[in-house]
Each structure stands twice: as C-alpha cells, then as structure tokens.
Chains A and B, each alone.
Chain A
Amino acid sequence: MAEKPIQGEKRVFMTGNEVVAWAALAAKADIMYGYPITPQNEIMHYWTRMAPKYGKRFLQTEDELSAGFTTLGGVLAGRKAFTATAGPGNTLMQEPLSMAEMMRIPSVVIIQQRGGPSTATVIYSQQEVTMTTYGGNGEGFRIVYSTANHQELFDYTIKAFNTAWKYRFPTFVLGDGYQAKMRESLTIYDPEDRGIELVKTEPFIGKEPVNGEKQPVHIRNTYNTEEELFEVITKYLEDYTRITPEIIEHQEFDCEDADIVVVSHGVVSRAAKGAVQELRNAGLKVGYFRPVTLRPFPADRLRAVADGTKTLLMVESSLGQMAKLVKDAIFGSTVAIATLFKPGVGVTSEEIVTKVKGML
C-alpha cells in the first residue's frame, strides 16, 4: 500500500470534484458514503478509484437519506466519514444532518449546488445557501464554508474535517456545479507536511471497558420534556457563540473609503473581485466584501463595513439567500441596499461593473 497520497507539493490542473477527492485523501478521511447526483458524481468516482489504494472505503447507499445516516454511523464508530450531494439530494440529507446537529456528530458534507427548486437544472446555482446553513428542523448549529476556487476547495475540505472534529458540529463545504465541473490549476499538498495538524478522531460508542466495567454512552436525539430540550439547546448556543470568533472567516479590500461595497460569496466572488478591481482602476470608490463562512456569519465585521459605506450591493446566483444572512447580520444599520440577483445563473464581472456604474 502506498504511504502518502500526495508527496511534496504539486501543481495540478483538474476538476473541482477531483480536487475534493484528493483533499479528502489528504485529510486522511477513512470512508465516503454516497448516492449519485449531478454535479457531484465525480467526487465518488475519483474517491472509489483512488481510495482503495490507501485502505480507504466507500459505500453506495440507496438514497441520500441513507448516505447521510450511514455517514453519521461511520463518525459514531470513530471514522473520519464524509459524503457529498447536491440539490434534491441536499434536501433529503437535511433529515440525517438535523440529527447530526442534535447529537453533535462531526460529519463532513460537500455540497455542489445545482439549480432549484426540485430537479431544476443539474448545472449551477447558489440556491442551497438557506438549506445548507439553516436546513432541517433545528437552529442551524452547523459550520458552512463557501469556496470560490479550486485551491480553496482543497484547503477547506481539509479544514472541514478538522473543524468538525474539533468543535463537534456538522460541517459543510459549499461549492457549486461550476466549481465541480471546471478545470483550473491549484497546488495540492500533504497538510501535515505544511504543519497543519489533523485533529484526531475517536469512537463515540463502543469504547473499551475501564477496569472491567463497560463504558455506556448515551447520545440522545429524543427528549422527554420541553425543559430538558431547552437546556440542551441553550448549552449548544453557548458553545456555538463561544467558538464563532475562532471560526468566522471573510475577505475584504478597498472598503475603507468606498461608497458602494459589493457583497458576494462563493464562485460569484471571483466576478465581484474582478469588477471591484476594474472599478477602482477607473477611480470609483467601490469595495469588496466576501463572507467565507456563511454559518457562523462574519456579522460584526460586515456591520462595521456597512456603517462606513453608503450602499451594500449584494450579488448572488439566487433570489437573495445570502442577502438574508447579510440583512440579519447588519440589522439596525441605515446603509442602503441594492441587489443583483440571478437565480440559477452565473454572474460575470461585466454585469457587476455595469450595475455599479448605473448606481453611481
């Protein structure tokens, strides 16, 4: 058996789905559970092609409900387990992932967003933001990284395993069909060679006896009384609030003196970045803000940016799912809000430039 999947650092040129499979290998994931759905299929394909060489496993289940629950089972057994899905598959997976929230199971899920609602398109969207951040019957005790390019897809897939196992909240990498299917360059590496420590896993159940005594474990997702549940949820909120400053990530530039700040996330932020740079080169006071974590959301920083500018222009490939998170974060601010929403369709720099110029 080969030792390390990635020796040294390597510049590669591949699809995003292949990147995810490599990242999961690099993060020493043990097993993937999955059910096919476009545009994430090739994560499974590459994983099943590469993983057996390194003693890793794969189980194809009968649907996404099962893929989600088996992932939780793998995690409970102490395995670094993950799954990947999209669109209607993501909808089905909210059931097991609510359970992961309730039981604090560090599952890792890669989402490659496609058009919605329902089957819609198999191509692309940013319409799974609400579902990925707050789906299921719960309070959204999850961590969601929204990536924009292949390097981030690699980096944050590795990071997702660490975040999940360190903080014990279900963790998502939110990509999309463009990122899934396009090819571009990135550098893949072994995280430990770069000094990135991989958080150790441990079984939740089936622990070794101590002094001949069995060690029973009781992980609940059912509570008898309202008060019992309230106590647990209150504790989870405390935990979540406490770790939020350590988890939130964002990128920004040129916001200090900006009259308009373009807010976008994921693959759309590539277009926003180019647009803001072009507008700045033309002498226009425009800034760039991009939440990398959508849950928890970098609320304090965005609130400060909102207070220092005149207008936030929100750009996304949905009818305002990110914008809802933004508005919640900046509640009370008097900043004006403008939008460029293109549900299920990509956004180009040229469109953002035209939009901004029309506003000035």
Chain B
Amino acid sequence: MSKTVKIALAGEGGQGVQSVAEIIAEAANEEGREALYIPNFGVEQRGGVSVAYLQIGTEHIGSPKFQKADIVMALSDRAVKRTRQYVDERTTFVYDTSIEGVEEELPKNAGRILGIPAIEVSKNELHPRVFNIIIMGAVIKATGVVSEEEARAAIEKKLGYKFEQNPDLRELNFKAIARGMELVEKAQ
C-alpha cells in the first residue's frame, strides 16, 4: 500500500498558499490520483495565518486534516509558529530564509529543515506575482507528488487565457516552477 503524502502550506494572506494547494491537487487529480485539499477557514476577515492541507495518494484518503505532515512549508514568521504542531521526526520543514530572526522558532524535532530564498528570488530575479508558483515548484520538488510537466499543464489550464494575451507570462510562470524546484534541490 503506497503512502499518502501529507502537505501543510502556510503563509500570510495574499502569499497564495491556497491557490498553490488547489493547483497541485487538481494536477494530481488530472493524473488519476486521489487528492484532497482543504483550506483552514475561520471567522477572521484578515490577519490570520492561511493554512492549506493537501493530501495526495493512490488510495482513498482518510480524514481531511492530519496531525503530522510529510512536508510543511512555512512562508512567514507567524506561519512557522503556527505549523510547528504538524512536525515530527519524519517531517521535512521548509521555510523562507528572508524571515528575520526565525531560527530560534524552527521546529527542532523536524526530520530535516530546508531554508529557501523564495521571496528574494521572486523579488529580485523573477517577479513578485509568481512567488506562489516558485513555492509550487518547491513543493513538487520536495514531495514528488506531481511532475514538472504536470505542474506546467495545470498552470496552463488555470492561466492559459492570460498566456494567450501575454505569452511572456507563460515563460515567467514556467521559469518560476523550475526555479522553485532548483531552490529545494540546492537546499538539500
């Protein structure tokens, strides 16, 4: 029985963790795998940490949320604190290295901790608007839940209408996936 991969993505509102989770879930579903994605939702209108719970496997998925994740990706100071609870010795914990003074907060019990400069790369190298796509590349590299081709196809499906008007956007998004994957590869 192959294992279901459990992923928790957390960030500030606007960092796009929910759309990343949704695109990956849809890409996996397209490939005929079982996928389940649920956002956290509460009464806060603003100011909360946004968490996406994503599970991908070959068998029917059990409970929608989980206690411990295989991969946790935390993209802000508060997201690091919020997601420590999902970490155990089998968890890969990925955080953004631009978060200042977060080293003390990192979960010591994680199987491994990877720091990636995703925010910096999106600002200085690509474009802030593809930050979440860099994160998507990082997630698929760290988990192997979908291939780069599948991720590209999913983005094409989602944003194809925009790419029609501006083909450069396609290039930018695809580059962002590749860069995200590279960041994880280097950090390992």
| A interface residues with partner B (beta carbon < 8 Å) | 13, 38-39, 121-123, 149, 177-179, 181-185, 267-268, 270-271, 273-274, 346-351
Contacts and interface: CB of A to CB of B under 8 A. Distances in A.
Which of B42, B63, B66 counts the most chain A CB atoms within 10 A? B63
Interface string B94-127: 0000000000000000000000000000000000
A350 B67 contact: yes
A149 B63 CA distance: 10
A356 to B, nearest CB: 15
Interface in B138-156: none
B41 A271 contact: no
A182 B64 contact: yes
Interface in B53-71: 60-68
A351 B62 CA distance: 12
A122 B60 CA distance: 26
Given A122-B41, A182-B64, A347-B63, 9 more contacts: A38-B41, A39-B41, A122-B43, A183-B25, A183-B35, A183-B37, A184-B35, A184-B37, A271-B62
Query: Do most interface residues of chain A lie in helix, strand or loop, or is the interface mixed?
Result: mixed
Contacts of A179: 64
A179 B68 CA distance: 20
B64 A346 contact: yes
A244 to B, nearest CB: 30
Contact of A270 (B37, B43, B62, B68): B62
Contacts of A177: 41
A185 B34 contact: yes
B39 A270 contact: no
Nearest to B40: A123
Contacts of B34: 184-185
Contacts of A348: 62-63, 65-67
B67 A351 contact: yes
B42 A123 contact: yes
25 contacts: A13-B26, A38-B41, A39-B41, A121-B43, A122-B41, A123-B40, A177-B41, A178-B64, A181-B41, A182-B64, A183-B22, A183-B38, A184-B36, A184-B61, A270-B60, A271-B62, A271-B63, A273-B62, A346-B64, A347-B63, A348-B62, A348-B65, A349-B63, A350-B68, A351-B67
Nearest to A185: B29
Contacts of B42: 121-123
A22 B29 CA distance: 19
Interface residues of B, number: 23
A270 B29 contact: no
A183 B35 CA distance: 8
B29 A182 contact: no
A3 B11 CA distance: 44
Nearest to B63: A271
Which of A182, A274, A347 counts the most chain B CB atoms within 10 A? A182
A183 B63 contact: no
B29 A268 contact: no
A343 to B, nearest CB: 16
B122 to A, nearest CB: 26
B65 A185 contact: no
Contacts of A184: 34-37, 61
B63 A182 contact: no
Interface string B24-51: 0110010000111111111100000000
Contacts of B38: 178, 181-183
Which of A185, A274, A346 counts the most chain B CB atoms within 10 A? A185
Contacts of B60: 149, 270
A182 B37 contact: yes
Contacts of B22: 183
Contacts of A347: 63
B28 to A, nearest CB: 9
Closest 10 CB pairs of A and B: A182-B38, A274-B62, A271-B63, A13-B29, A178-B64, A184-B36, A270-B62, A182-B64, A348-B63, A183-B37
A13 B35 contact: yes
Which of A179, A184, A349, A350 counts the most chain B CB atoms within 10 A? A184
B167 to A, nearest CB: 28
Contacts of A122: 41-43
Contacts of A270: 60-64
A179 B42 CA distance: 15
Interface in B64-103: 64-68
Contacts of B25: 13, 183
Contacts of A349: 62-63
A347 B63 CA distance: 7
Contacts of B35: 13, 183-185
A273 B26 CA distance: 25
Contacts of B40: 123
B6 to A, nearest CB: 10
Contacts of B39: 181
